[in-house]
A and B are shown apart, each in its own frame.
Chain A
């Protein structure tokens, strides 16, 4: 197991390296931020001086070499736009995004698994059909549209919830969170629900499919024949066996929710990393774009690792291979 983890981490260093090179070249190919940010009154000489001051006049390989040199010491560069360390900007906004992502995943899991089970156990009932119809809607309605609709209904018409923003935060161990106050919950509810919708539908469908398949298995039939109560049949024999694909998907989706909550964050003006990355791409703020993607890669690596470990716990047949395959 330890070997497995170490091997994984070594592989991820290579991934990080490749990623940084790709992003670096990509952003370089587009242009430089000075064209976008300099005062319209600046003359050509000013523009060139500024480009030189930011080190953007050097050849690409030279810029990349400087970046690598600094990166080994943990310095991912200063943001062009904000003049602050890129990594600090990202970490500053990370709690907001993580909170939103976890809230969305909790909603998706807590509602999704029971609803999926229900739909799988009683596929022909009215409720079962209604759940499936709802999940199709959740899949197919675009996030931004649902977000706007939520705002129109709950904020503008009913006035129950605030339209946007994060609201007051409370520091826990130095990390600002909003789920500890009622006002914070009010701000969190709509964006989290909006972000959860797609994942919720996904989990419902996965759970339902798994349940229907498991119900036909011999061990379930046997458990029933033994006269075990329905609760135990479903709770132990069915649920435990359908969890593996669900855990995989939850893991992957958690990563994507964190990395790509951009649409929801923009509509609800949620001050998270998604908004930061969009602004940075628009302004060609390369240090922030590179640092952000590196952080996301690390996040995916960690999540996948955790998922693999959870597998081995859930399913004793899975062994984390020490030799690699």
Chain B
């Protein structure tokens, strides 16, 4: 019998999947506003992009509260310990059927590389995309806020686009890495049900 642990709590799963949906909507509509293709039309894409952004900010307000009250924010503290072992696993071990060097527990559900990746996302990409996005959204109020002397729409838009490309690249890597559990869909299943079936290797 493999061991099962309850790793993703109900709110966490709700947060994850609604955020996933909102980010996918924003990627599709955002690149349409950027002019990359024509699916919904500029007007609808802009409206939906803005609506999704405000919805995600609301979701984050709840999530930040949840992170602090549950202490789950500690899951994002970086540690350089065992990072080399993780890199070795992803570049070599995974192909030779070696055991996964990291064991998920309730208090440590992210492997060391994941911690670094999520911290980078939170510390660099997130501020870039939210700061530029909110400035973009309130472009009409720049003069009133006294910001028009320091900002140009071009720089704000280009910074926002840069963040969008980074998030999109992150998204594809993130989705690919979900397939690296002990079975292809093991991680996705855990994110849906909350229960992670521990790998037999480290029984």
A and B, one complex? no
* Chain A residues at the B interface, C-beta cutoff of 8 Å: none
